[in-house]
Structure 1
Amino acid sequence: MHFKTAFLCLLSIVCLAVPTFSYGVDVYSPSEAFPKIRFEIEVEAVLAKAGCNMGACHGNLKGKGGFKLSLRGQTPADDYRWLQKEHGSRRLDLFSPAQSLILQKPTSGVSHQGGTRFKTDSLEYSILHRWLEAGAPGPQANSPQVTNLIVTPLDSVVRAPRDSVQLQVLAEFTDGTLADVTALTVFEPSNLVAEVTPSGLVKRLKDGESTIGIRFLEKQLAVRVAFMPRTSRRRIKFPSSQSYIDDLVFAKLKKLGIQPSEVASDSKFIRRAYLDALGILPTGEEAQAFVQDQNPYKRAVIVEALLNRPEFNDRWALIWSDLLRNEEKVLDTKGVEVYHQWIRESFEQRKPLDQFVRELIVASGSTYEVPNANYWRANRAPDVRAETTARTFLGVRLQCAKCHNHPFDRWTQDDYYDWATVFSGIQYEEVDKNERSDKFDKNEFVGEQLVKLAYKEEYTNARTKQPASPRFLGGTAHDIGIDQARLDALAEWMTSAENQWFVKSQVNRIWFHIMGRGLVEPVDDLRVTNPPANPELLEALADDFVASGFDVRKIVSRIMNSTTYQLSATPNATNQDDQQNYSRAIVKRLDAEVLLDAQNQAIGVPAKFNGYELGLRAGQIPGVRKVKWRKETPSSGDLFLATFGKPERMMACECERSNETTLNQVFFLVSDKGIGERMEQKESRVRQLAESELPDVEVVELIYWSALCRAPNSEELQFGAAYLANIEESAAQSGKIPPTEATVIGRRKNRSPDLLIDRTVRTDDRLSNVQDLTWALLNAKEFVFRH
């Protein structure tokens, strides 16, 4: 065993071709052409390598062209039966193997809709031909199983002029053999940075990083390959490190030869910090005071202050309301409000995240009196509860395993149904008659419900047609109790500090909401074939999260105090293509609620939302839509949120929220009647500035501080002051266009959105000019995006 362990350790760092060794195990190389041909190993591997058993081909649920295979060879016995016995055995010709359809079709000897899959002089052809010559034996019950894949190199950085790297894959079997299976391994690059030949040679298509999925039979893993230009790593200079976060981020950047961007200016930092931590802008006064503060530790001071503000609780209540599907259709208005209040109070009370999740899982009773019981009201079927719980709290996507073994993860159909049956004992009792307003909407329920825990026949496994045995993910079948005891056991297991799915998925989500991109993307898809961008950093954050007692604020503080978080978004020559290594701040459009609240803050007047008192911020709205649009015309605020991607909360997924930019959003920003109406109100900040006795220069400065959290530069100040002073020759006419906007979007005096023009003709109306300048800044990319 010591020899074998030493051998495997040595092998993991060797990148050259591996010959045949003899350290207590046998290593078969491709040159030996696979001396043993077994249906369940070599033949299935050929079918996978050729793509025959993929979902788009014969691995489809209904097969293709009258021929079916199990998806990715998951059930060899079925594959053998379909090959040997269906259609009079015409697919296999044991008397003349070369005439078998299994060889004729993929080599295009006869017409094949899937085209040529391999040639007659290939290893794939040789394996199938030899199997047929041997009588086409079926799968053997005692055949060795693959226990592990060993890939070299695991992590590659390829610098120009080199343009490729060779991967080698060894498979370890239960009988102790170790075989070079590179030639029969499926390689799948994650993006267009690289391409992989059938032999495992990874070739550069352009500079960047790619994850290469590696699959042999049922085993999968992934390696990262980075193709970088020729650079001198000696010239790279890093800013000072504040914590392990910077150490690990900068270590990878150094390895890749990427120079991080400079540290962001104070004005950019304060804006970003407020938006990420609180979902609001700093006031102009707050931003100006911070920039002028000479305290060298002012960034750490402001981070601590932000985490103690009530808006932090609003921000995380919004995040978790999205995830927990807190919406009016299923939970009704009262349910939504009490649920949102419970979520917000949990963060206000600084409840550890493991406790927060445990209280959700074990909840039962009235959905009005026990707000956290709404978690089960929102997820009403065992399969929905199983999928939602795994995805939200463990970062595991199980949906695929409902119909077949998961093609990209370890989960089988049995795993899926055993997990789903854990949730089969949750029942509901209607306290009130359903007073839904839409009789055609079967999902709507208005009224109180009781969540009850009562034993019910276990969930039926769709594959075996037998009751499934309750089992936690990755565990073995055992008695986990029924009713409340089952949920207690589930909550205890799921939120344990030893449960790496829980710890890593939750700390990855925190990182995502502060940094703008998860270490694992998508954030709820943790699997071996989707590795983190920086595995060491995710491990360190997970350990820190556990050590903190699952304190969200402590992790947020750790991240925001790092130099990595405080880097500028401005790229340099080495990091302009970097999207995943945090060498610069990530630029993305603000969330719908954050953007609208920022607008209202700059204008000084809140937006109206149907069903809510005026003054409620968009980020404080408990649900999705309190008043249905067909009952009442949606307000400008309601339309804004829908246009800019506020989710309907039909899915327990970060992906339901959209931060994409669309043409419709562009038109909305320049022509929304609600923006003009809010600016017109007498209490609006815009009107107050216009009617004040302040000099034009000072008004321009205040508008910039309020909207962009910075002072205008000299060109912007000159342009703005000239605009407010009604100077006939505008900066636009003279070619002096401020960098914030190419033109100032103006409106004629009647404020009609249909008469929007690029204002180059000045009026004598100072209010109109102040409104125009403010509206222009609200359309600036600098305002709309987080940077």
Structure 2
Amino acid sequence: MRWKLLLPGVVLLAVIWLVSFVTHQPLKGIATEETARPTADLDESVQKVNTFFARRWASEDLQPVKKSDELTVLRRITLALMGTVPSLEEIRAFEQDSGPDRLQRWTARFLHDRRYAVYFAERLARSFVGVEGGQFIVYRRDRFLNWLSGQLEANRPYPELVREMIAGSGLWTDEPEVNFLMAGYDDGEGFNKNKLAGRAVRAFLGQRIDCAQCHDHPFDHWKQNEFAGLAAHFGQLQLSAVGVREDRDLKFEVEDRDTLEKKVVEPAVPFGDKWEPTDGTRRQRLAAWVTHPENRRLERAIVNRVWGLLFGRSWIEPVDDLPDPPGEQIAGPNVEGAKHPKAMKADEQDLLDLLGADFR
């Protein structure tokens, strides 16, 4: 299954690579009943990453840093996974552990620690719903955090979470995932469809399409009508006594800046229109498009974001302005050639593709 446990798989692979990198020890997969993938598959994946970096270092004439002691590595792992240094009790227990592969075993232990789920949920939520308190009563960030941490703890596939956030319905207390939508709600204005569309593509696809909200993007290929088509997917959102629902009679209108006339905009996607199904609600269709198996932007975006959480810096920055995937550069009237200064050729493969492809 292509998307099986993408998020925990990326975390696990990156942490194991961190262990290998700072200790200079051969990598061995962490094998527990709850781990995302079999040990053999994990070892093969890590070897691919090792080869990638070995070639990169050789091409730039770089030498890896000196070997770190295992207690230092343990500290780095707990900081990366839980945002804190190991406790005194954990340090003492680690020092007394004389079994083989103790770093791998302790990493597996931390990955199944509730503290990891809570910490990563908070870090990811900053991208999904922001840090603001939101609209009083109808937005519950705490409920959203509890829901997200529970999904991480249960190792649910990441695309399922994305689909539930985009296409969810019901009360924000009973169905906490809809707080992704309620974060874009204001009592005076209702749902801000442009805000929701912009946040969705930034958070889940790593693209700043919302820069074309008021005019064609001056430095990129995104067009204003493309963003309006995305926002139209949220155009039938309505808040009712039963919470978030879809009103199929609602129309999404935008105002022309020159004529001040309003026109109805139908839902549309800026690329990969064959990935969007024709049935379902507008948000269900958008959710299916975002998480479609051929939409490489989803996997590249989460790999890049998780890499940044674990190592302190994303592989490509900023995290919400990634280049088009290699071989998928989108031509447009506002750009000459590749759309991004870091855009790659079709036969190139960067770390995001390497890790992302491994979880298809």
Give a deviation string over 1:639-667, Cα, whole Å, max 9, x none. xxxxxxxxxxxxxxxxxxxxxxxxxxxxx
Measure how far apart 1:424 and its partner are.
0.7
Q: Does 1:393 align with 2:189?
A: no
Cα 1:544/1:481, change in 2 over 3 Å: closer
Cα 1:471/1:521, change in 2 over 3 Å: same
Give a deviation string over 1:59-85, Cα, whole Å, max 9, x none. xxxxxxxxxxxxxxxxxxxxxxxxxxx
Among 225, 228, 231, the alignment partner of 1:414 is 225
Distance in 2 separating the partners of 1:334 and 1:416? 25
User: What does residue 11 of structure 2 align with?
Assistant: none
User: What does residue 244 of structure 2 align with?
Assistant: 451
Q: Tell which structure's C-alpha radius of gyration is larger.
A: 1
User: What does residue 256 of structure 2 align with?
Assistant: 462
Measure how far apart 1:399 and its partner are.
2.8
Among 231, 234, 237, the alignment partner of 1:426 is 237
User: What does residue 474 of structure 1 align with?
Assistant: 271
Point out where structure 2 has 5 or more consecutive residues left out of the alignment.
1-22, 28-45, 185-190, 324-338
Cα 1:346/1:544, change in 2 over 3 Å: same
Give a deviation string over 1:488-520, Cα, whole Å, max 9, x none. 211111112211111110111111111111111
Distance in 1 separating the partners of 2:340 and 2:137? 40
CA contact (8 A) 1:427 1:454 kept: yes
Q: Does 1:504 align with 2:297?
A: no
Among 140, 165, 172, the alignment partner of 1:335 is 140
User: What does residue 521 of structure 1 align with?
Assistant: 317
Q: Does 1:371 align with 2:176?
A: yes
The correspondence of residues 78-117 of structure 1 with structure 2, limited to 5 A, is none
Cα 1:477/1:277, change in 2 over 3 Å: closer
Give a deviation string over 1:743-765, Cα, whole Å, max 9, x none. xxxxxxxxxxxxxxxxxxxxxxx
Distance in 1 separating the partners of 2:275 and 2:57? 46
Measure how far apart 1:407 and its partner are.
2.7
Matched pairs, number: 290
Measure how far apart 1:275 and its partner are.
1.1
Point out where structure 1 has 5 or more consecutive residues left out of the alignment.
1-237, 432-448, 547-787
* Matched AA of 1:472: V
Cα 1:496/1:504, change in 2 over 3 Å: same
Q: Does 1:263 align with 2:49?
A: no
CA contact (8 A) 2:275 2:292 kept: no
Distance in 2 separating the partners of 1:499 and 1:273? 31
Distance in 2 separating the partners of 1:415 and 1:356? 25
The structure with the greater share of residues assigned to strand is 1
Distance in 1 separating the partners of 2:144 and 2:110? 25
The correspondence of residues 558-637 of structure 1 with structure 2, limited to 5 A, is none
Distance in 1 separating the partners of 2:54 and 2:116? 29
Measure how far apart 1:418 and its partner are.
1.4
* Matched AA of 1:543: A
Q: Does 1:309 align with 2:113?
A: yes
Measure how far apart 1:530 and its partner are.
4.7
Measure how far apart 1:340 and its partner are.
2.0
Percent of matched pairs sharing the same residue: 27
Among 319, 342, 345, the alignment partner of 1:531 is 342
Measure how far apart 1:475 and its partner are.
4.1
Measure how far apart 1:241 and its partner are.
6.0
Distance in 1 separating the partners of 2:239 and 2:202? 23
Cα 1:375/1:486, change in 2 over 3 Å: same
Measure how far apart 1:331 and its partner are.
5.1
User: What does residue 58 of structure 1 align with?
Assistant: none
* Matched AA of 2:252: E
Q: Does the residue aligned with 1:452 lie in a helix, a strand or coil?
A: strand
Cα 1:359/1:478, change in 2 over 3 Å: closer
Q: Does 1:325 align with 2:122?
A: no
Distance in 2 separating the partners of 1:545 and 1:408? 32
Q: Does 1:381 align with 2:192?
A: yes
Q: Does the residue aligned with 1:460 lie in a helix, a strand or coil?
A: strand
Distance in 2 separating the partners of 1:332 and 1:459? 28
* Matched AA of 1:538: L
Distance in 2 separating the partners of 1:256 and 1:425? 52
Measure how far apart 1:470 and its partner are.
1.3
User: What does residue 254 of structure 1 align with?
Assistant: 58
Distance in 2 separating the partners of 1:241 and 1:462? 61
Q: Does the residue aligned with 2:105 lie in a helix, a strand or coil?
A: helix
Among 88, 95, 101, the alignment partner of 1:297 is 101
Distance in 2 separating the partners of 1:410 and 1:512? 26
Distance in 2 separating the partners of 1:334 and 1:460? 26
Distance in 2 separating the partners of 1:371 and 1:292? 42
Q: Superposition RMSD on alpha carbons, in Å?
A: 2.8
Among 472, 480, 489, the alignment partner of 2:285 is 489
Give a deviation string over 1:462-505, Cα, whole Å, max 9, x none. 369532231123145999668x5222211111112211111110
CA contact (8 A) 2:276 2:289 kept: no
Measure how far apart 1:390 and its partner are.
0.7
The structure with the greater share of residues assigned to helix is 2
Give a deviation string over 1:387-409, Cα, whole Å, max 9, x none. 01110111111232122222332
Distance in 2 separating the partners of 1:478 and 1:308? 35
Measure how far apart 1:267 and its partner are.
2.0
Distance in 1 separating the partners of 2:25 and 2:141? 46
CA contact (8 A) 2:246 2:281 kept: no
Distance in 2 separating the partners of 1:486 and 1:275? 40
Distance in 1 separating the partners of 2:137 and 2:130? 12
Measure how far apart 1:304 and its partner are.
0.9
Q: TM-score, normalised by structure 1?
A: 0.35
The correspondence of residues 134-149 of structure 1 with structure 2, limited to 5 A, is none
Measure how far apart 1:421 and its partner are.
1.3
Distance in 2 separating the partners of 1:425 and 1:310? 37
Cα 1:299/1:417, change in 2 over 3 Å: same
Of structures 1 and 2, the one scoring higher in RCO (CA 8 A, sep 6+) is 2
Distance in 2 separating the partners of 1:502 and 1:285? 39
The correspondence of residues 636-647 of structure 1 with structure 2, limited to 5 A, is none
User: What does residue 91 of structure 2 align with?
Assistant: 287
Give a deviation string over 1:211-251, Cα, whole Å, max 9, x none. xxxxxxxxxxxxxxxxxxxxxxxxxxx94664222211121
Give a deviation string over 1:734-787, Cα, whole Å, max 9, x none. xxxxxxxxxxxxxxxxxxxxxxxxxxxxxxxxxxxxxxxxxxxxxxxxxxxxxx
Cα 1:479/1:284, change in 2 over 3 Å: closer
Measure how far apart 1:326 and its partner are.
5.9
Distance in 2 separating the partners of 1:537 and 1:321? 24
CA contact (8 A) 2:134 2:183 kept: no
User: What does residue 15 of structure 2 align with?
Assistant: none
CA contact (8 A) 2:82 2:116 kept: yes
CA contact (8 A) 2:162 2:291 kept: yes
Cα 1:296/1:531, change in 2 over 3 Å: farther
User: What does residue 357 of structure 2 align with?
Assistant: 543
Cα 1:335/1:285, change in 2 over 3 Å: closer
Measure how far apart 1:320 and its partner are.
2.6
Cα 1:331/1:347, change in 2 over 3 Å: farther
